[in-house]
Amino acid sequence: MSAKAVMVLGTTSGAGKSWLATALCRYYARQGLKVAPFKAQNMSNNARVVAPTLGTDVSSLPPEGAAFCLGTARRQNLGGEIGSAQYFQSLAAKAEPEVRMNPLLLKPERDTHSQVVLLGQVDEALTRMDWRGRSEYVWPTVAQALDELMAENDVVVIEGAGSPAEINLSASDIVNLRVARHAKAQCLLVTDIDRGGAFAHLYGTWALMPEGDRALIKGFVLNKFRGDAALLAPAPEMLQEKTGVPTVATLPMWYQHGLPEEDGVFDDRHTGSGDIKTTIAVVVYPRISNLDEFQPLKNIPGVHLKWVRSAAELQDTDWIILPGSKHTSGDLAWLRAQGLDRAIAAHAQRGGAVLGVCGGLQMLGEALIDPHGIDGNAPGLGLLPLVTAFEPAKTVQRTRATFSTVTGPWAALSGITVQGYEIHHGQTAQHPAMAAKGDVARELMPGLAWQNGAGNVLGLYLHGLFEDPAALQALFGQHGAQVPTLDAVFERMADFIEQHFEAGVLDALIHD
């Protein structure tokens, strides 16, 4: 088997590459084809845990990186973490998510530093390496992962990163044109027309690409269009005259597609049906991670999900959620600088519901202790009598656990079995000195979830609570049961592109 490769490139980040690649995965999969997604390198703090899989021997890595190679050799057949986009693309493709689909993941911890994950596992040697020099070390692994997927599937849907016209990065490119050439991919170039300047973006990207690579572009896609598509003429025709590339789709703006967003906070306007009964505020710190797990809350009738960055925005809020963080101590310092710590404490003192997930759980405790220089020491918010110690070993695993008796606004979770995933360095436990004084957190899941005595503050390491149907129905009743399944979301997305692409274009991409 030798797959056909269809690649989605973009004029910018946020143009719609991930969304379109996901839709393509389901479009081709429902034709009975064996489909896999691929993105060579992803930069995102939104990651998912995948199971171990066979394949991808790293023995071909360059001998110059001896320590690096020894570290990565132990990685074969392990599971680990990949970018959320490739995880969802795999589900859309009706395939089991695995590390070869996103062999290199960069998780930003600061503006100038990222943790490097190769084939699902953190690699300290690569993390310390200069980013420009890193590409040649990892390219053999990236290429082999792609080759294996190409050999095992009928179609591989590849997502690029940023733009293929970032000429300052072209010499070390391992995610855009180098991948397109290697896979002999049929490429679509998508742009966000809602931002303005879409035709300039398309033409400029095409013009800055090496002349020999321009033939890879088989069609332009205008995404997030609002208005009368007839008003676009004659621009698509003029663009084709200049480039030889047709505009093959104009995709209307679609706010409620239901696919979790990978990067940036998604639109939080209330577009659900019915009156607002519950307002849920998610605190958006600079290194927020795994925000995509809250997408189901946006789809629940009567729930208004909003993103907050200031204390004033917490007014008239029923729930406050502290999400995951890639740099807990840094985000905790930012939270204090905004005055959000006092606002959250006041909300909790009034009996308001507060939920901390992973890094958010760590913030709710009394202290962060970091003897190994992993994240940083810091006093916590003091809403749970817990202490977190950071350790070099990273917990990355899928998890299934059952809540014991839960009280307060979370009482409906009592006895509910949920499944999700863990990605964290810290280990959290009861603060011994506070326990001696009688201040004890109620442990609801061993090592995973705790609640304060009043019952309104809940912290848990488990990501994915709101993606679990049983938890949604317990917390929101029949409204929670109305949230569309991911499979239904994928089907709607495939229908959408089938309707809005020029007839025959998508099939021609895999038959040329």
CA angle, 140 then 105 then 134, to 5°: 45
Neighbouring C-beta atoms of residue 168, cutoff 10 Å:
6
CA angle, 199 then 202 then 204, to 5°: 100
Among the options 358, 431, 479, 500, which is catalytic? 358
How many residues can be counted in the chain? 512
Contact 117, 104 (CB under 8 A): yes
Among the options 201, 425, 431, 463, which is catalytic? 463
Question: Is 25 a residue of the active site?
Answer: no
* Residue 134 in tokens: 């890193």
202's enclosing H/E stretch is: helix 198-208
| Residue 186 backbone class (left: φ over 0; alpha: ψ -120 to 50; beta: rest) | beta
Contact 273, 282 (CB under 8 A): no
Contact 30, 181 (CB under 8 A): no
Q: Residues 107, 89, 474, 416: what is their CA dihedral angle, to the nearest 10 degrees?
A: -70
H-helix segments, 406-447: 432-436
Q: Which long-range contacts (CB under 8 A, 24 or more apart) does 66-73 make?
A: 67/125, 68/123, 68/125, 68/126, 68/129, 68/137, 71/123, 71/124, 71/125, 72/118, 72/119, 72/121, 72/123, 72/141
* Residue 18 in tokens: 């991930």
Nearest to 315, CA basis, from 339, 289, 290, 285: 339
- How far apart are alpha carbons 96 and 54 in whole angstroms? 12
Contact 185, 7 (CB under 8 A): yes
Question: Is 358 a residue of the active site?
Answer: yes
Helices 340-349 + 328-337 axis angle, to 10: 90
Place of tokens 């950071």: 390
- How far apart are alpha carbons 396 and 127 in whole angstroms? 18
Contacts of 443 (CB under 8 A, 6+ apart): 404, 430, 449, 450
- How far apart are alpha carbons 290 and 262 in whole angstroms? 8
Instruction: Please give the positions annotated as active site.
Output: 358, 463
